[in-house]
Structure 1
């Protein structure tokens, strides 16, 4: 997609000023959205729901409050309607143009999307870690009790409970331990950096290709396309300014 004619009509001095203050790319980004999504039809009910949600979020309880808000923000009502319907437009465009690639993207990303719940206890003393592991394994105390009393990480506040979180967010060594043990398994202490970890796998939550994931993959593909297109436009425009 070529750079918007509106951008190309700006004087070179203005474009150079925008570039100097790192505002050129954000401007191109916003205009790319306008050029791409302006033809997307938004149902009146959908638009009104978006407007109502915006007014509620900003505590705009009557028409005058809304007018004052727009004045302070330097926006017209049309500008605001565009803003609040942008998420709907992005989803609609993404589904229309990237739906055929969504399932393949899901398969490529599935390991990153799968979630897990686990219990974690981490301390720096290997001997104490071993002792606590045995106490849990032999039923002398619960994982939550010992994590609350002994864990030295932020999980202490929740009795060692972690998740549900994407499996890929964990340290690679921890991911390996979680993947290689069945739910309910108490994993023997192992070391990551200065920490000794005792881990119990509580629950795996594999992600399936449902409607929510399909929309998410389509939006992800759209954002990828958008970023690539933006890079092309920025490169072309800055090249023109430098010549």
Structure 2
């Protein structure tokens, strides 16, 4: 059997690679990369794009000297041609994403905007409804500030910040909190509401609408790409299962 890898005193044979990848839970990553390779196979890059990609790659890896590049290549057991392939592969992947989903970003953004908007809010929570009502009345009557009451009585980590939380995206919050904050006005103290095991008092401090800036475009592009990738994996798994069934029935 062909020997493909020598590590210390151990020789790894070709027939051992797949079982080893499976035992180290690396097969999903291998499948991901193979799907990407197939998707970007037809993508072309100009010499200028390749040169820019190379410059970016070296900057990201902090490879400023030729000795640094050689050491990095040796550590990863890469040849010069393999390194060039790696640098171009990232460029091709970004071009594939842009060609596939770039024209869909605006519509996807407006579909997702409700969960991308951010809020800053004050939170006070307790498991005792009587205490929650008493604290709400104190805040309403301005006997104590929200921050002082939260710092003294709130039973979550927000007590450390005087109840202040955020900025945080709405999709990170409990649906009931999203509904309450989305329908309230800044500085409006909401009466105690039961959410899960807590009675909470909320006050919206600031609503921050999501913007389709460059960082948001990159994020949404990657979301669409990852969704596509998951679909590709499912299709491959489905075909594999179907093949196994056919073999058994045959």
- Kindly indicate whether residue 55 of structure 2 is the aligned counterpart of residue 48 of structure 1: yes
User: Could you tell me the TM-score, scaled by structure 1's length?
Assistant: 0.77
Measure the CA separation in 2 of the matches of 1:51 and 1:98: 27
Please name the residue that 2:7 is paired with. Answer: none
State whether residues 116 and 170 of structure 2, in contact with CA within 8 Å, keep that contact through their aligned partners in structure 1: yes
SS of the residue aligned with 1:231? helix
Change (3 A) 1:185 1:89: farther
**What is the total number of aligned residue pairs between the two structures?**
228
Match of 1:135 in 2: 138
What residue ranges of structure 2 are gaps of 5+ in the alignment? 1-13
1:41-87 Cα deviation digits (max 9, x unpaired): 334234313312212xxxx6644344334323333455455556666
Task: Identify the match of residue 194 of structure 1 among 183, 193, 197.
Answer: 197
Residue of structure 1 equivalent to 2:154? 151
SS in 1 for 2:184: coil
Distance of 2:204 and 2:90 partners within structure 1: 37
Q: Structure 1 residues 121 and 24 mapped into 2: Cα distance closer, same or farther (>3 Å)?
A: same
Distance 1:94 1:17 in 2: 32
- Which residue of the other structure, out of 227, 230, 234, is the alignment partner of 2:230? 227
Higher relative contact order (CA 8 A, sep 6+): 1
CA distance in structure 1 between the aligned counterparts of 2:93 and 2:219, rounded to whole angstroms: 11
The corresponding residue for 1:17 is 19
Query: What's the CA shift for 1:197?
Result: 0.8
What root-mean-square deviation, in Å, do the aligned CA atoms of Structure 1 and Structure 2 show? 3.0
Partner in structure 2 of residue 3 of structure 1: none
CA distance in 2, matches of 1:117, 1:204: 7
Secondary structure of the corresponding residue to residue 149 of structure 1: helix
Question: Counterpart of 2:38?
Answer: 35
Q: Which has the larger radius of gyration?
A: 2
SS at match of 1:184: coil
Distance 1:145-1:91 versus aligned 2 partners, 3 A rule: farther
Q: Secondary structure at the match of 1:117?
A: strand
- Residue 37 of structure 1: how far off its partner (Å): 2.9
Contact 1:19-1:25 within 8 A present in 2 as well: no
- How much does 1:96 deviate? 1.5
Relative to structure 1, the CA distance from residue 150 to residue 194 in structure 2 (aligned partners, 3 Å threshold; closer, same or farther) is same
Secondary structure of 1:74 counterpart? coil
Further displaced range: 27-36 or 210-219? 210-219
Q: Partners in 2 of 1:157 and 1:148 — Cα distance?
A: 6
Query: What does 1:82-121 correspond to in 2, within 5 Å?
Result: 83=86, 88-121=91-124
Task: Determine the C-alpha separation between the residues in 2 that align with 1:234 and 1:212.
Answer: 33
CA distance in 2, matches of 1:125, 1:238: 53
Q: Which residue of 1 aligns with 2:239?
A: 236
Q: Secondary structure at the match of 1:232?
A: helix
Residue 165 of structure 1: aligned partner: 168
Q: 1:167, CA displacement in angstroms? A: 0.7
Question: In the alignment, is the contact (CA less than 8 A) between 2:124 and 2:200 conserved in 1?
Answer: yes
